[in-house]
Amino acid sequence: MPGTIAIQAVRQVFRVRGDEDRKVHEFVALDDLHLEVGDGEFLTLVGPSGCGKSTVLDLISGLSTPTAGAVVVDGKRVTGPGLDRGVVFQQYTLLPWRTALGNIEFALEALGGLTRGERRERARDYLELVGLTDFASRYPHELSGGMKQRVAIARSLSYEPGVLLMDEPFGALDAQTRERLQEELLQIWRRTGTTIVFITHDIEEAVFLGQRVAVMSSRPGRIEAVLDIVLDRSNPEIDTRATAPFAQYRHQIWSLLRHSDTAATQLEQVHRVA
């Protein structure tokens, strides 16, 4: 189940209408963006608000097409959505008229090639993977926010994509649930070997989850730096987030983001003067 990603010199421009003059202007969201993600890697992408993080995810998923450059997954140029890539959004996007099990089966119906019994068996396997076997018959309104997101993750993994794209999936959850799901997600990733690209605005989340953290600059979005994260997770009794190396990574990323914001502000002031 390969899952390599290459983003090559991508530029993304949107045409938007100005608030004051009502004229159509070009809005450069991404410019000369390069990024590579290895097979089975867990990469987190962090950056200031409005830098284009979600736009990057849209391009990899095939929901958008770059103005220039290319996005390549497993050696093939992305031209649209595909079952080789799963997406988990911040909103749960579950079908309210289907049970937890039925929501996962829905994805397998789209996959095709499986009997009804095979779909149900695989759906149960992935519910077990996310620890929700006992909630198979519950409808979304009967589940907590964390449970809904686990169902969404199970659904995206059920058709076994090589790449899982996650756009701030824990952003709406309380801190305790969020940390628990972060730990569960790492366990799922280790068991499945799926390549994961995880978008977040939370520096601690980026450090805790990522093997590498890609830091984006302010608009237009580029990759400012990519940090290798090396943390000792061998002792479950030690809180990784409380260790000195974790704090050092967090400070390093914070410094990069602060520098990017300062540079963007200075550039905007120059443009206004000009």
Distance between CA atoms of residues 155 and 149, nearest Å: 10
Output the six-digit token pair for 52.
Answer: 């284009």
Between 110 and 22, whose confidence is greater?
A: 110
Instruction: Return the domain boundaries, the chain.
Output: 1-82+209-274
pTM of the model: 0.88
63: burial class by Cβ within 10 Å (0-12, 13-18, 19+)? Answer: middle
Q: Which sign, positive or negative, has the C-alpha torsion 52, 56, 57, 63?
A: positive
Instruction: Provide Rg for the chain, Cα atoms.
Output: 20
CA proximity to 264, closest of 35, 49, 56, 34 = 49
Indicate whether 263 pLDDT > 60: no
Q: How many CB atoms lie within 10 A of CB 265?
A: 11
**170-211 per-position pLDDT tens digit:** 887 888 888 988 999 998 999 899 999 999 999 999 999 999
Q: Is 1-82+209-274 CATH 3.20.20?
A: no
